[in-house]
Amino acid sequence: MTRRLAVFEAFLGVLLALTPFVLWPVCSMPKPDGGHMLCWYSGILITAIGVLVVLFSILAWWKSWSFLLAAAAALLAWLAPNDIIHIAGTGWAVGLCGMANHACRAVTMPVVGWIVLAIVLIGIAGLVSGFVGKR
């Protein structure tokens, strides 16, 4: 059971990684100064976290606690762009556009939210399955 959950979670990690630039892209418009908007950096973060979810899912074949790591990483993919957890550096920040009709707010983040929810639920199920299976 744990391995099937890990495979499904890895699939969702790939889906999460492809979401912001391939499947449901974030805004492609540049800022007036030519730089990237906040959602571009959110897309990079979401893609990187999708890759981490895949790696943690592979690790979950051997260590069931890796489901927890994948769930926590996926949750960060939703919390950071929604500015619940602020991530920024010099000249860049993770966030969303101010306009509600832009692609990042209208399409990308709702899809990311559902994928993250599925990853978290699978992470909980995998963690429980791993502990129950050891008895």
Would you give the DSSP letter of residue 43?
A: H
For residue 121, pLDDT beyond 80: yes
Q: What is the mean pLDDT of the chain?
A: 82
HSE (side-chain half, CA atoms, 13 Å) at 101: 0
pLDDT in tens, 15-57: 999 999 898 888 777 777 777 777 788 888 889 989 999 998 8
Query: Mean pLDDT across the stretch 52-81?
Result: 84
pLDDT value at residue 134: 61
Beta strand extents in the chain (DSSP E only): 88-89, 92-93
pTM: 0.83
Query: Residue 44 CA to chain centroid, in angstroms?
Result: 10
